[in-house]
Structure 1
Amino acid sequence: MITQQLQLPNGQTIAYQLDLRARRSIGLKITAEGLVVHAPKRISASQLQQVLQEKSSWIQQKLALREANQVAPMQWLDGEPLLFMGQDIVLTLVAHPTSKAVTLEGDKLLVRSPYINNPDWVARKVLQWYAQQALPDFKRRVALIAAQMGEQVSGVGLSNAKSRWGSCNSRKQIRLNWRLIQAPPHVIQYVVCHEMAHLKEMNHSARFYAVQASLFPQYEHAEKALKALSPILHRMA
């Protein structure tokens, strides 16, 4: 992606990420990082600027909404609120001379270590724990849906993407964002079903949504829930 600047009529400048692809239309998306513009490879700079100017009110409105929904960044301190499988848990740091264990006990994620006063170390251990919980959960869900569909999946891996919750490629490899393990089970299931539907339709056509609906009928509700949760899920870097 290329970083560009959009000059608004009021003189304000907005930085955005330009992603040039083999496509026919311009797509705008507001992510945790800001504005992302997907555009055809051969579009001229003047054409692109004209479209963005026409959409400037929408862009400003969405960016303002994103700003209003911003949540406080993680501090990695004792008592930090966390989410796991949709449940509220609390980061609990316990000084220990030798142990470096991370365990979930009730509603407490206990981190025992001689380094509990080092936020970077705590962050690394907690993120490792979340990834360790995510992969087997995701693999189990994918295997169950693959059996239901009569499909074969060549691999399931974790993604650290900032703006995508999952992907499915032509080699039938599924990648899912580890941050999803914070979300309620039905939201996780929705994303898994979305990516699995791409095994049948590698697009977002009406046929794709028909497959998705057959796997997860309430996908529209779950999609809205995921969008609302997104700022919270992205607290973890």
Structure 2
Amino acid sequence: MRILGVDPGLTRCGIGVVDSAGARQVSYVAVAVVRSLAETAPHRRLEIIADGIEDMIAKHKPDVVAVERMFAEDNVRSIISTAQVAGVAMLAASRAHLPLALYSPSAVKAAVTGDGRAEKKAVQLMVQRILRLKELPKPPDAADALALAITHAWRGESIDRNEPAQSAQHGGSAMPTADQSMTPAQQAWAQAERTSRMSGIVAQQMRANARSGRKR
């Protein structure tokens, strides 16, 4: 299976491609970082990134696209632009008729490093080790994109274009639960993903309650 991972960002969008041979065996295929300048019109910046993602899809012909999803961040302006680019990546996957996988940053960090709060340098080092690269993948956006692809190779949960929205919201998978049959890294991933999803559920409920209060 060939997986294309997208680390969405408006200034730098990482795109990484790996091949998965099963039994946690992954190999490096390619990586790219699409850049857009801050002084460029925002819709043109999204077009530049969309072209880069579509070019990588056309060139490497992945079987699935994995995209980072986020619930909240301190920098609201940053998360809005990140969400816009994530939407572009999701649209590119749909237009290419490819399944989509969505993973939170903490889930990716936990899957690759065993720590859902790992620093970017730790992710870079582990991606280099897992893919047996001679050099550290740079910039961090490139490593994050490859980490997303690796995470999907090891988790393998994706959604079809026609899957119901309720299932699609969390990558088409049920709420993961850590158990004793998992390795420590797998348990860390399950806990990180569960925490991330619960945060999103709580935020949604709070917004619903606020809307209900306003109506009254």
The bucket for the TM-score relative to the shorter chain is under 0.3
Name the structure with the higher strand share: 1
TM-score (ref. length: structure 2): 0.25
The structure whose residues are more often helix, as a share, is 2
Q: Which has the larger radius of gyration?
A: 1
